[in-house]
Structure 1
Amino acid sequence: MMRFGVLGTGHWATVTQAAALATHPSATLVGVWGRSPEKVAEMGSRYGVPAYTDVDALLKEVDAVAIALPPAVQAPLAVRAAQAGKHLLLDKPLALDPAAADEVVAAANAAGVATVVFFTNRFIPAVDAFLRTNAELGGWYAAHGTMYTSIFQPGNPYSASVWRKEKGGLWDLGPHGLSVVLPLLGPVVDLSAAEGPRDTAHLLLRHEGGAASTLSLTLDAAPEAKSFGFAYFGEHGATTLPEWDANQVEAFGNAVNALLDAAAGRPHACDAAFGAQVTRILSAAERARSTSTIVTV
């Protein structure tokens, strides 16, 4: 039974991560840590576990941490946890700076701890099966993804997220998009990017082997213009990403399983190294958008 601590007290930490860990058959939630004493006390009371205001005190009691914090906060804490010998169940994006992401990878490798980054789609059984089957089939030369959501509306649990307001859909939705494009089209060689109305980011990606993909992303779509979909085109025809057959809590439970497997020597494709790869692509896209140039990844 792997003992977990949750770092973070926001909506995602509370309703997804802690909820999944509290009911997981092979994991135990033993404590929570947060930057707000009031929020961490409330969360600890909700799940009947100790609430820590000293992260090192929590690290002494666990085998692994699940992190649900802004990426700029997550990366240094992940390094700290890895150096303490704790396995890492991380959120996306891994970091906002490639160097910070690489530090997480280096710390995990040096400590010999397992890592999994929770790219939600990759832990949905229908999506995972789709990507595995079509990666084996091969021959994919194009993909297009649209992720238009509208989080800055009254009552949305993410409407007050400072880092999302600052970094937008490129950094919040971009990891989700890349996680379901890279497995079929391969690593990104270079890219260009443009900004549209309502903070829309439009990416054109060139992949190894000549494949190309486009991503169109925003967190601030008009409420009646929300859209989500991925289409793929290849030598064997065209297809689309399937709908989810699990909810977010079930998906996080699958990510916990993946970390348990990784700790037993069976690493998952969505490890910290993959998270760092995604961070490099997003950083390049940010430069491309601001300079109106093609940027090498």
Structure 2
Amino acid sequence: MRIGLLGTGPWARATYAPALAGHPGLEFAGVWGRRPEAATALAERYDVTPYTDVDALLADVDAVAVALPPAVQAELAVRAAGAGRHLLLDKPLAVTAAEGRAVAEAVERAGVASVVFFTTRFQHEPDAWIGEQAAVAGWFTARAQWLGAVFTSDSPFAASPWRREKGALWDVGPHALSVLLPVLGDVRRVAAAAHGPADTVHLVLDHTTGASSTLTLSLTAPPAAAGAEVELRGEAGVSVMPGSSEGAVAALARAADALARAARTGRPHACDAAFGLRVTEILAAAEARLSDARE
């Protein structure tokens, strides 16, 4: 599969480019970015073609990987799907339900494969745990804390405009939902939403299985308090999601495997654009509740 990369920022440089270049089943074909000089520099590092025209890249590949802000991603994903290209997308799929729906509908209309890179879902130990817990009946409640120190540390994402604007709800909220939904079922409603310090938010979700979950999300936690934790409680007792022994590059390589498999078999992956849309819809509902809470 010939694959091109759209994006040249920190996430593209640290995760996407090395994962695509090192994958034995992919031909990393080229890079396009909104800053041509950055695309040229990244392409030269991996000895691939830099593109100044995104349509020219689309014409030369079978698939694209997108490492761009979600609003930009949504627009280009629709364009790439329309050109018949398979999509390796990042979370969140979009930052409005309408934009997310446009991507999901474009994927369905074109009949292309799609995978949204929810990092935890492609890390071996957490993903295995999610599958095991999804097979267990009787979960009563769950608690998820996803606390980052993006704006209170030397994170390479501290200057990210869209993260500054949309905050933890949209940046780490997708990670938490990607773990909870396969285990507790879809969200029937956002039962409560409240603001905490800085960009921190607290959510209470009502799931179709009858279970409830609470989420605490932040990009502004003190560095010593940062980390992710998911705990389930139910008839089987208590279960805590394990950490991962591998980083994002290995996880993205698995996501690329999943995309290639979906393209080959025609069977959608669990983390496809339709799932990305559902996560977007839940986050949009939570954002509306949070907006009401400010009034």
Return the TM-score normalized by structure 1.
0.96
Inter-partner Cα distance in structure 2 for 1:103 and 1:233? 37
The residue number in structure 2 matching 1:48 is: 47
Equivalenced residue count is 292
1:125 deviates by 1.0
Alpha-carbon RMSD across the aligned residues, in angstroms, is 1.1
The residue number in structure 1 matching 2:251 is: 251
* SS of corresponding position for 1:215: strand
The residue number in structure 1 matching 2:260 is: 260
Cα displacement string for residues 70-108 of structure 1 (whole angstroms, at most 9, x for unaligned residues): 001000100000000000000000001111111111111
Between 1:199-208 and 1:133-142, the stretch displaced more is 133-142
Superposed, 1:162-181 pairs within 5 Å as 162-181=161-180
Inter-partner Cα distance in structure 2 for 1:138 and 1:262? 29
Cα displacement string for residues 163-191 of structure 1 (whole angstroms, at most 9, x for unaligned residues): 00010000000000000011110000111
* SS of corresponding position for 1:284: helix
Superposed, 1:114-129 pairs within 5 Å as 114-129=113-128
Between 1:153-162 and 1:2-11, the stretch displaced more is 153-162
The residue number in structure 2 matching 1:270 is: 271
Inter-partner Cα distance in structure 2 for 1:31 and 1:77? 16
Give yes or no for contact 1:32–1:40 (8 Å, CA) kept in 2.
yes
Give yes or no for contact 2:30–2:43 (8 Å, CA) kept in 1.
yes
**Partner AA of 2:117 in structure 1:** F
**Partner AA of 1:193 in structure 2:** A
1:153 deviates by 4.0
Inter-partner Cα distance in structure 1 for 2:267 and 2:244? 25
Q: Kindly tell me: are residues 288 and 116 of structure 1, through their superposed partners in 2, closer, same or farther at Cα, counting changes over 3 Å?
A: same
Inter-partner Cα distance in structure 2 for 1:197 and 1:104? 33
Give yes or no for contact 1:138–1:184 (8 Å, CA) kept in 2.
no
**Partner AA of 1:217 in structure 2:** L
Return the TM-score normalized by structure 2.
0.97
1:53 deviates by 1.2
Inter-partner Cα distance in structure 1 for 2:37 and 2:89? 24
**Partner AA of 2:165 in structure 1:** E
The residue number in structure 2 matching 1:225 is: 225
Inter-partner Cα distance in structure 2 for 1:228 and 1:198? 18
Give yes or no for contact 1:78–1:88 (8 Å, CA) kept in 2.
yes
Inter-partner Cα distance in structure 2 for 1:62 and 1:224? 43
Inter-partner Cα distance in structure 1 for 2:131 and 2:223? 34
1:209 deviates by 2.8
1:106 aligns with 2:105: yes
1:289 aligns with 2:259: no
* SS of corresponding position for 1:292: helix
* SS of corresponding position for 1:275: helix
Inter-partner Cα distance in structure 2 for 1:101 and 1:90? 12
The residue number in structure 2 matching 1:193 is: 193
1:23 deviates by 1.0
Give yes or no for contact 1:200–1:216 (8 Å, CA) kept in 2.
yes
* SS of corresponding position for 1:266: coil
Q: Which runs of 4+ in 1 moved over 6 A?
A: none
1:26 aligns with 2:41: no
Inter-partner Cα distance in structure 2 for 1:108 and 1:226? 36
Between 1:147-156 and 1:186-195, the stretch displaced more is 147-156
The residue number in structure 2 matching 1:142 is: 141
The residue number in structure 2 matching 1:66 is: 65
